[in-house]
Amino acid sequence: MGAQFVGMENGMMRFLGIVAAIAIATGSASAADEPKGPVTGLPLPRYASLKTDRVNLREGPSKEHATRWVFQRAGLPVEIVAEFDIWRRVRDSEGAEGWVLHSLLSGRRTALVAPGKKGQVFKAYSRPSTGVDVVAQLQSGVIANIKKCDGSWCLVDGDGYKGYIEQVELWGVYPNEKIE
């Protein structure tokens, strides 16, 4: 009887795995199905920003691990992809990954304007539409503070400007993400 029960349990687990895979593939998985960080319980991945102008990106989650890179730009958006104790594994806009102390990260949402389109200029508008006044022209790589996003447009601000930019031109917000 015990072996039969184990076989049924394994079969049920395979069935549930298939159901979960179908739900994810069809987009019918709920927000409750999103992976959560084991330390914070917050969604993974998620965006954050750097608090200071000097943040060490380490090979592993401790100060004993070698520093791979030193970020030197406060406000830079990073994507948190894992958590361990007081450490967060982050990815930058160029795909570099490593571990940083959680205390060097902020929940303040920022974004880079089209980091992969170096040398280009992007327009920020007075309202979420291309048929209105241009309030600023932003160089690729500029850090913008995210005020809100509706899934298509984001209201951003920075040094001397405030306006709407198309969400697809920002690294630091997910496609279709809404931010209030």
Q: Whole-number mean pLDDT of the chain?
A: 86
Whether pLDDT at 180 is above 60: yes
Provide the pLDDT for residue 7.
41
- Is residue 19 pLDDT above 70, yes or no? no
pLDDT, position 175: 94
pLDDT of amino acid 3 = 41
The token pair that represents 52 in the structure block: 């200071």
pLDDT bin (cut points 50, 70, 90) of residue 14 is: very low
Can you tell me which residue has the tokens 């850090």?
143
Two domains, one topology: 46-108 and 112-179 = yes
Q: Give the Cα separation of 169 and 69 in Å (integer).
A: 26
**1 pLDDT above the threshold of 90:** no
- Model pLDDT, residue 168: 97
Say whether pLDDT at 23 is over 60. Answer: no
pLDDT of residue 30: 45
Report whether pLDDT(88) > 70: yes
CA dihedral 158, 42, 34, 143 (to 10 degrees): 10
pLDDT exceeds cutoff 90 at 165: yes
The tokens for 16 are 């549930």
| CATH, domain range 46-108 | 2.30.30.40
| Phi, psi for 138 (deg, rounded to 5) | -110, 130
What are the residue boundaries of the structural domains of the chain, listed by start?
2-33, 46-108, 112-179
Is this prediction's pTM over 0.85? no
CATH code: domain 112-179 is: 2.30.30.40
